[in-house]
Amino acid sequence: MTGGRDKLIDLLRRAGLEVVGDWRIEEVLPPQAAWRRVISGGAKPTVAVREDLPDLVAELNAQWHRLAASNGIIGDGGVFLIDVAGAWTGCVPRRWIRLRLTGQLDLAGVLGERAGQPEFVTLATDGSTLIGVTTEEDEVWFTVLDHLAEHQEATARRLMALQNGLDAFASAGVNIPEGVRQNLGGRARL
């Protein structure tokens, strides 16, 4: 599977990025979960840029850099994490790629199906904040989500409360449908 990985590394270099370190599993929100938050029906863009702007790619690159710098995405030494939409990994689970900015930045010109149609998510190395960049019908959306650990903790508490409620029903002899049990990891008892 190194062909896809090599192609992705070349793409990232052309975007003005350098891979830093090995491809390890980061102790942060997985890329798939980050994408879900960015593309969910309830996601609202922090910034929307119309696709008919004269110098679209330069504007998109400037918007990403401004948002990344002001929201703590870019860490010490210019390092951050990225996941790029595409079939780069085949059947291998996707992992964040640790990167550093170098030279001329061209994320919007390179990291998409076409120049000016970027599709990627970036994450602070501590996992606190992400920026999703997606191409919509006639705009490019920049969706900033912060305080991710707090949101994850709140979601975990809600799921645990739901699970505890289902366990109480199950203990009282209420039949919990199979689909509900499976969605909650099979913990509800019959």
Average of per-residue pLDDT values in the chain = 83
What is the phi-psi region of residue 21: left when phi exceeds 0, alpha when psi lies from -120 to 50, beta otherwise?
left
Q: What is the pLDDT of residues 13-32, one digit of tens each?
A: 999 999 998 766 678 888 99
pTM of the model: 0.76
Q: What is the pLDDT of residues 106-135, one digit of tens each?
A: 999 999 989 999 999 999 999 999 999 999
Q: How confident is the model at residue 67 (pLDDT cuts 50, 70, 90)?
A: very high
